[in-house]
Structure 1
Amino acid sequence: MPIAELNGQGIFFEDSGGSGRPVILSHGFLMDSRMFDPQVAALAPEFRVIRWDSRGFGRTRWDGKPFSLYDLAADCMALLDHLGIDKAVVGGMSQGGYCALRIALRYPERVKALVLMSTRGTNDDEQTKAGYLQSAQVWASVGPEPIVQALSGPILGEPSLLPTWLDRWRQLPAANFMAAVRNLTDRDDITGRLKEIRCPTIVFHGLEDVGVPPSDGEFLHKTLPGSVRFVPVPHATHAANLSHPEVVNPPLLEFLRAYA
């Protein structure tokens, strides 16, 4: 199992290898790197696709300490260093997109282009933060099932995805869930800095996304100076790249061929 010891964590990653131009992908909240299976199938071997599990999720060995999006950004850059990659296309979905945007701000010289999926630059309002924290308390006191059921539709949407992913969610310890929630609720608002990100960017967003409305994706597209395309994904909820790869992959390939 590919584990890189980086920043005190055992970061699980998968690397499609080859001589193609590198693309590194960061997953969303409650997900893991396997959510990019459809993209790896479409992009490799033309592109070298690296994906990894962030702290608290998947097969990464997390040290149990609180972490921020900037910690995840540092993990991603350390993984590129570990693989000997100086510059890559950086992509992410939801939480992974929050991470990708902060990579573009903190390490602009490492970012060839950005791929943003179902994400935004703002932080959450107080009501949303309270809902996240309440869900973590329920997970710890009652167990994961009420939250798993509540989030399955808004995140995944596609019924065929539910058995596999819900089983994975049920195995997540309450401490991991709480730390990941804090990572989201404590994030900074980077709206005022978006114009600093000038690399080529493509933005994808499910039109049925209720967690991060499509208007947030449109705002990113209109605000980021280098954004070349906004791709709405009809009938998709939050994990649009997983539920509707037939819509996401063709424009993603076109973008990478032009800007990677």
Structure 2
Amino acid sequence: MSPRNQTAPTFARTRLGSGPGLLLAHGAGSSLAGTYGPVLEALAARHTIVGIDYPGSGDTPRSTTPLSVDDLADQLVAAADAEGLDRFAVSGYSLGGPVAIRAATRHPERVTALVLTAAFPHRDNRLALASSIQSKIAATGDRELLAEFLLMTALGTQALESMPAEQLQQTLGYTAASVADGSAEQTDLVGQVDVRDDLANITVPTLVVSTTDDRLVSAALHRHLAQTIPGAQLAEIPTGHLPMLERTEEWLQLMTDFLDKHHA
């Protein structure tokens, strides 16, 4: 077993449930609860869940310096250390995907499996443009405008167009209220991350969940992960970037089936 992580845990963390360890890495501009809230209870029924909130999310203060994927990964493992977990699977959503990948390559003897949902190894042109716009809007503090941009780009076509006008307004209000204070810094990181060199070095069972109607992180980026990580399994969900809202049960089933098989 590798030595314990030497990083001091400074991010707010959550622990739930019992069973094999499962670390959760959330998406940019969200939080642990914002990303995994709809499936947390079900995951905690089968696993000891440990997750962190990035700077500017949840109870973690905003950072005064640019964020790094290495630091987020090390803080995630530091949270596991603080909660007494030696070995664990890691689930990463969107920006949490590169965080999970970096955790696996920086702490290879600790990580037993990976689940990467709507994730990316680097930015393509669409993601570069979207992250730049999102970061600039977030920096203005205009939460309503940011919510409009997020729903337009993150929701799948069917989910967005099936909303009655009243529900759309309610969803905009909820989204604006739940946007992380650190959205600008977290989204800046999205435009800078590049973990392509890590992929061939991943040796643990990996599930890549592709959100096929995703207009933020393209399915081509999901497929790149699945094709480059040795032995990775690809599963597709016909949803936008928000499977936790659009296809909650389907997403949960994919994760639990895979973890039951590879992380019992």
TM bracket (short chain): 0.7 to 0.9
- Residue in 2 that maps onto 1:137: 136
- Alpha-carbon distance, 1:121 to partner: 1.1
Maintained 8 Å contact 1:205/1:240: no
Whether 1:181 aligns to 2:184 is no
Task: Select the structure that is richer in strand.
Answer: 1
- Residue in 2 that maps onto 1:3: none
- Residue in 1 that maps onto 2:236: 232
- Alpha-carbon distance, 1:247 to partner: 1.0
Pairing of 1:203-214 with structure 2 (within 5 A): 203-214=208-219
| Residue of structure 1 aligned with 2:246, choices 212, 235, 243 | 243
Structure 1 stretch displaced more, 208-217 or 158-167: 158-167
* Pairwise CA RMSD: 2.3
Distance 1:198 1:12 in 2: 29
Maintained 8 Å contact 1:36/1:242: no
In structure 2, do the counterparts of structure 1 residues 109 and 152 end up closer, same or farther at CA, with 3 Å as the change threshold? same
- Residue in 1 that maps onto 2:3: none
- Report the TM-score, using the length of structure 1 for normalisation: 0.84
Structure 1 stretch displaced more, 148-157 or 92-101: 148-157
- Residue in 1 that maps onto 2:151: 152
Distance 2:142 2:38 in 1: 31
- Alpha-carbon distance, 1:105 to partner: 1.6
Secondary structure of the residue aligned to 1:108 is coil
Maintained 8 Å contact 1:133/1:178: no
Whether 1:92 aligns to 2:92 is yes
- The percent identity for this pair of structures is 26
Secondary structure of the residue aligned to 2:59 is coil
- Residue in 1 that maps onto 2:51: 51
Secondary structure of the residue aligned to 1:67 is coil
- Alpha-carbon distance, 1:148 to partner: 1.8
Distance 2:40 2:140 in 1: 38
In structure 2, do the counterparts of structure 1 residues 200 and 64 end up closer, same or farther at CA, with 3 Å as the change threshold? same
**Structure 1 segments unaligned to the other structure (5+ residues):** 1-5
Distance 1:17 1:216 in 2: 32
Maintained 8 Å contact 2:216/2:241: yes
The count of corresponding residues between Structure 1 and Structure 2 is 245
In structure 2, do the counterparts of structure 1 residues 13 and 100 end up closer, same or farther at CA, with 3 Å as the change threshold? same
- Residue in 2 that maps onto 1:166: 176
In structure 2, do the counterparts of structure 1 residues 8 and 252 end up closer, same or farther at CA, with 3 Å as the change threshold? closer
- Alpha-carbon distance, 1:63 to partner: 4.1
In structure 2, do the counterparts of structure 1 residues 119 and 17 end up closer, same or farther at CA, with 3 Å as the change threshold? same
In structure 2, do the counterparts of structure 1 residues 166 and 255 end up closer, same or farther at CA, with 3 Å as the change threshold? same
- Alpha-carbon distance, 1:78 to partner: 0.7
Structure 1 stretch displaced more, 195-204 or 248-257: 248-257
Maintained 8 Å contact 2:28/2:186: yes
- Alpha-carbon distance, 1:192 to partner: 3.5
**Structure 2 segments unaligned to the other structure (5+ residues):** 1-6
Distance 2:128 2:224 in 1: 21
- Report the TM-score, using the length of structure 2 for normalisation: 0.83
In structure 2, do the counterparts of structure 1 residues 22 and 206 end up closer, same or farther at CA, with 3 Å as the change threshold? same
- Residue in 1 that maps onto 2:22: 23
Distance 1:140 1:206 in 2: 28
In structure 2, do the counterparts of structure 1 residues 134 and 80 end up closer, same or farther at CA, with 3 Å as the change threshold? same
Whether 1:254 aligns to 2:260 is no
In structure 2, do the counterparts of structure 1 residues 217 and 130 end up closer, same or farther at CA, with 3 Å as the change threshold? closer
- Alpha-carbon distance, 1:8 to partner: 7.3
